[in-house]
Structure 1
């Protein structure tokens, strides 16, 4: 038990950045915190932390130890939670990673409701459009659009994201309005989106009456983040395919105009993904169920 306590104290020092803050958050004397970390280092025969008068930094060995012990401590907390009233009142830190547009427009605005239901869950929200390795990055669950590449993970499909092809009024005044998707390859400029994983651009897809077209588009700007793509189209840099839930308010205000309306982009599936664990922790289960309800009732997502 002393070893587990030392591991918890070490992890808190890493997270707090100083022995003083760690001691305050744990309700322990600073001397006790220092002593427990020193005993841990002596037991492991490695230096885990570099101390200065102002701050503590983690050594490479310390970073590796922290990553592995964090998962172990979370597992221990989950085991205890499964045997206690935490099923009713989930608690603890939860690391979730979500795409930028979904975070800004759907998830974060709804979090007040989440905290009314689960006030004891501390949410660490990673916001990016880059691929995430749940195990390596120590993430509990991920919310992502697109087809799944890692088949060993558990995925719950929570909706479909329609895309619309849009341009700014300034761009259309300057370049005219495309009448057919093929015009994006020579007469018009597109704002393209490229994969953060491979660096390769995604094709613009168009479907109509059973016909499917993949248009690479002639572009001056390609981005790998959804908010940047929207900003580029709003700035008049080209025609882009944008998620309807992100474009809707700009279409209503006349800041964007839908083009090629007779052609549709196949909806992008939206999933909540988590590792295959028969004993899914109470906090992860609570978040997954809440997020599933949230996406199911959102008007910008198809069922």
Structure 2
């Protein structure tokens, strides 16, 4: 019988004043209770109880040991209650990792909504380009985006799928033309987003019929941040891939146009990663469940916004092209009219013409 169990039995004997009553409360025999106390005394080499056939009393050492045992057992009960509460009640600090752009546009808004439901959970969010060692660095949950997960001892929950879209500025497309097929990109300036979740140095596209297209080539500009790439695209530097939430504001205000809308770049999967499924802390369990519920809804909302933003932008581009052609026509007409007016007003020019 272990020391902690013996301590509990000893406290029950003292509090009940009887070996028989202690045995009943601990579901033991009287002989087992007597043996537990004897084992403690043998281990401590100290008599704890003075006992006769009629009465029992604590020795001086037994009194001190009794008080110490009560404190130890109370601390253990409190520790067990707190640990059990962590499994049952979401509270305390939750450490979360999210990739640079994905963490900003997906994870951060969802954390705000999660804490509205569970304000007892304090979230410590780290947004970084490189994924950390979750266990080594003490993260509870990592939300990552990847084509495929590497082999890992971590538990993964699939939250949804997304893909970047190709965008350009209206000015670039007016100057260089609108690509009609993936092969047309060979004559365009293509900008690259360098990210661990994307194939290095190439675009892998899924066509409308499920066919696969690949574009490779030297790029005059590449960057590891989608927001920075969006600025470069708006400046007319070329065509580039953008995550949907990064592209949406520009598509809505007309500073960006989606290129090859029937094509999507390689599908990327969104995962929540955590260390263990067994005895999962309540704050981790509820956060992962929240992500599983909300991420598909966010993705659906973005798809709807993407569909609504494309038609007006296309019309904006067509109108801009039409206005540009109309302006050039007016310039030609106005130039001809001006020359004609000068000819009429200048008799010398008339004589030279005649």
Normalised by the size of structure 2, how large is the TM-score?
A: 0.56
Give the Cα–Cα distance (whole angstroms) in 2 for the partners of residues 95 and 79 of structure 1: 23
Question: 1:63-82: CA deviations, max 9, x gaps?
Answer: xxxxxxxxxxxxxx997544
Match of 1:124 in 2: 124
Say if 2:185 is the partner of 1:184.
yes
Aligned 8 A contact 1:251 1:257 in 2: yes
2:267 match: secondary structure:
strand
Match of 1:165 in 2: 166
Aligned 8 A contact 1:95 1:141 in 2: yes
Residues 1:210 and 1:122: Cα distance change in structure 2 (over 3 Å): closer
Give the Cα–Cα distance (whole angstroms) in 1 for the partners of residues 226 and 80 of structure 2: 38
1:130 match: secondary structure:
coil
Give the Cα–Cα distance (whole angstroms) in 2 for the partners of residues 233 and 125 of structure 1: 30
Aligned 8 A contact 2:159 2:271 in 1: yes
* Greater relative contact order, per chain length (Cα 8 Å cut-off, separation 6+): 1
Aligned 8 A contact 2:110 2:291 in 1: no
1:83 match: secondary structure:
helix
Structure 1 residues not aligned, in runs of 5+: 1-76
Give the Cα–Cα distance (whole angstroms) in 1 for the partners of residues 290 and 245 of structure 2: 19
Aligned 8 A contact 2:87 2:279 in 1: no
Residues 1:124 and 1:235: Cα distance change in structure 2 (over 3 Å): farther
Question: 1:222-264: CA deviations, max 9, x gaps?
Answer: 1223333333323322211222232123212111111122323
Match of 2:225 in 1: 225
Aligned 8 A contact 2:107 2:143 in 1: no
Question: 1:16-71: CA deviations, max 9, x gaps?
Answer: xxxxxxxxxxxxxxxxxxxxxxxxxxxxxxxxxxxxxxxxxxxxxxxxxxxxxxxx
Match of 1:300 in 2: 302
Q: Count the aligned residue pairs.
A: 223
Match of 1:279 in 2: 279
Say if 2:105 is the partner of 1:99.
no
Query: What is the CA RMSD across the aligned residues, in angstroms?
Result: 2.8
Match of 1:108 in 2: 108
Give the Cα–Cα distance (whole angstroms) in 2 for the partners of residues 90 and 288 of structure 1: 12
Match of 1:203 in 2: 202
Question: 1:127-159: CA deviations, max 9, x gaps?
Answer: 123232212332211111112113322111111
2:112 match: secondary structure:
helix
- 1:284 Cα offset (Å): 1.0
Aligned counterparts, 1:1-303, within 5 A: 81-84=82-85, 86-87=86-87, 89-146=89-146, 147-185=148-186, 187-196=187-196, 201-208=200-207, 209-298=209-298, 299-300=301-302
Give the Cα–Cα distance (whole angstroms) in 2 for the partners of residues 129 and 87 of structure 1: 31
Aligned 8 A contact 2:99 2:131 in 1: no
- 1:175 Cα offset (Å): 2.5
Residues 1:136 and 1:200: Cα distance change in structure 2 (over 3 Å): farther
In terms of fraction of residues, the more strand-rich structure is 1
Match of 1:44 in 2: none
Aligned 8 A contact 1:219 1:238 in 2: no
In terms of fraction of residues, the more helix-rich structure is 2
Q: Which has the larger radius of gyration?
A: 2
Off by >3 Å, runs of 4+ in structure 1: 77-82, 86-89
